[in-house]
Structure 1
């Protein structure tokens, strides 16, 4: 897998290639780029898909010694990743479960050519829902993230309703993905430390601090939300669509937070329409 060097360290990524519009697909904490695999397949040649594995705990390439990431510096790291690849102003940035693109818009609005928010932290929902609060509490207990990672390695425990990844999706998250995501957190103390430091740096006001920037973001935006999302309130999707001046809203049935897993074909179709401008205007 190729990687780019950044001030924080190397960032591994996959690139579908081709001359189409570049689309950077960003995952959330305790996940990696594989969460987007079906969306990338569905988009095919309609987009040049770039899927970085960000240092959220499920990464495998070590950061530079002394690097500590916060939500703000993670947002800037996404912009730096795009800079390193020479991606232009037409680049579409897509995020699911994280909220960092909202912060990137606040910090560097000119870097985000077009914005897709697909089921993310927003407003006062931070840390988000039961899954986010579980991670937050685990990060504040010595050994808590390691204990949680080892618990998630037990496959039957992954299916307990309302916990872990189970609360994030309408359908069971495939075991091969969870195996991959929790392996670094189980085996690598440095990877755990990155996630712990990141989670401890979260401020409850982080998302509220981006509202004014989103209100003035004068580029095309798309908001996609699952109607059955138990972590990210569906009304937040509608509020974001109202807030962004050039946005449209797509709501999906039988869909939770992990839209790339619950409804990949429908998410890819919405992104494809957004890229070529064929979708209906307005929220």
Structure 2
């Protein structure tokens, strides 16, 4: 079957550190999530052509105190095709919303990376009642959705046979280190098991059909519309942004920090967009300080919503 990845395939591997796999039976289809820990919930949202493994180095640092749920979105590195689901950005946001409601998580700390950060913004715009805190690592925002560098993916999705050819070349690990793959998203090689789980699923016909729909649905109209709601969100926001990101320049973090009423920037250094891969300890520390600050007594003076600019490299 080409609509489902075999559980024995390297494409289906998920790190045990993510927690127990659960299959949510949603109206849109079956959505896997990985659930660990207990306490206030944190929901992790990955982006295009990766999966829940993106958070494998982050979740163990928090699952002792928080309930951590990593969603395995149908973004091209998933294991079961969702042929009847709406995979436009609003449709993906609805999947996140449905997962939060199905698991009865209530208001959550929502953490997004890359195009998953854009999806998180759409969740916030549609259901702010479900978001207690928002953490955006380097991600699409405003008119930068998707970054123009990735226009080739849109062309490939619209060209017969192009995604099939891409799937074949992505089986070669050296190709994955090229800028047109993961080479500029992560500054360091991604370990083999995770890399295989990201790159190999698109070889299955059904998965490839899903990612084609997801890619062709990317459009700045959605992030620009979501941005008009930011001023209404009064809860805390952390922008844990990779300094010097090739695709998501610092100016977007600074713009978000202005538009959200209660936002701060923490720069993640020596990292590409995939800070959970490149600099997990820096990201863990930034999120931990952010969460701990929310536990501080109200009499404590609030922290400045802005950080100092990143040093010039």
Deviations 1:18-52 (A, max 9, x none): 2x221001000111100100011233413221111
Over the aligned positions, Cα root-mean-square deviation in angstroms equals 1.6
Residues 164 and 129 of structure 1, relative CA distance in 2, 3 Å threshold: farther
Tell me the residue number matched to 2:190: 173
CA contact (8 A) 2:170 2:200 kept: no
Q: Verify: 1:273 aligned to 2:293, yes or no.
A: no
Deviations 1:193-215 (A, max 9, x none): 11101211222322111111112
Question: Could you tell me how far 1:145 is from its partner in structure 2?
Answer: 1.9
Hey, what's the Cα distance between the residues in 1 that align with 2:219 and 2:244? 26
Which ranges in structure 2 are unaligned for 5 or more consecutive residues?
Answer: 1-20, 297-301, 307-313
Hey, what's the Cα distance between the residues in 2 that align with 1:214 and 1:149? 37
Deviations 1:214-266 (A, max 9, x none): 12211111111111211111210111111110111101111110010111111
Residues 281 and 30 of structure 1, relative CA distance in 2, 3 Å threshold: same
Which ranges in structure 1 are unaligned for 5 or more consecutive residues?
Answer: none
Q: 1 or 2, which has the higher helix percentage? A: 1
Q: Which of 228, 245, 251 is matched with 2:244 structurally?
A: 228
Question: Could you tell me how far 1:129 is from its partner in structure 2?
Answer: 4.6
Q: Which of 88, 99, 104 is matched with 1:81 structurally?
A: 99
Shifted more, 197-206 versus 50-59: the winner is 197-206
Deviations 1:145-174 (A, max 9, x none): 2221221111122223x2211110121222
CA contact (8 A) 1:21 1:275 kept: no
Report the number of matched residues.
Answer: 277
* 3-state DSSP of counterpart to 2:68: strand
Question: Could you tell me how far 1:128 is from its partner in structure 2?
Answer: 1.8
Q: Which of structures 1 and 2 has the bigger CA Rg?
A: 2
Q: Which of 36, 43, 63 is matched with 1:16 structurally?
A: 36
Per the normalisation by structure 2, the TM-score is 0.84
* 3-state DSSP of counterpart to 1:38: coil
Aligned ranges 1:1-283 → 2 under 5 Å: 1-18=21-38, 20-63=39-82, 65-89=83-107, 91-98=108-115, 99-130=118-149, 132-160=150-178, 162-186=179-203, 188-277=204-293, 280-283=303-306
CA contact (8 A) 1:166 1:173 kept: no
Hey, what's the Cα distance between the residues in 2 that align with 1:92 and 1:134? 33
CA contact (8 A) 2:245 2:271 kept: yes
CA contact (8 A) 1:46 1:272 kept: no
CA contact (8 A) 2:37 2:65 kept: no
Shifted more, 229-238 versus 40-49: the winner is 40-49
CA contact (8 A) 2:244 2:250 kept: yes
Shifted more, 166-175 versus 188-197: the winner is 166-175
* 3-state DSSP of counterpart to 1:207: helix
CA contact (8 A) 2:257 2:264 kept: yes
Per the normalisation by structure 1, the TM-score is 0.92
